[in-house]
Amino acid sequence: MLENLTAVPSQAELASVMIRHRPEF
């Protein structure tokens, strides 16, 4: 999964927003 994020910086940004929106994470 980490490799995917590194390959696609856009995905990393989306994940950051998702995590911020979901305090459960």
> What is the mean pLDDT of the segment spanning 1-16?
68
Asked whether the predicted pLDDT for residue 6 surpasses 60, the reply is no
Q: How far apart are CA 9 and CA 21, in angstroms?
A: 19
Q: How far apart are CA 23 and CA 8, in angstroms?
A: 23
* Residue whose structure tokens are 């856009």: 10
Inter-residue contact 5 to 12 (CB < 8 Å):
yes
Asked whether the predicted pLDDT for residue 25 surpasses 60, the reply is no
- Whole-model pTM: value is 0.34
pLDDT at 7: 55
Asked whether the predicted pLDDT for residue 16 surpasses 80, the reply is yes
Q: How far apart are CA 5 and CA 9, in angstroms?
A: 6
Q: Which domain holds residue 19?
A: 1-25
The pLDDT confidence band at residue 20, using thresholds 50, 70 and 90, is confident
Look over the chain and give the mean of its residue pLDDT values, rounded to a whole number. 70
Tally of structural domains, the chain: 1
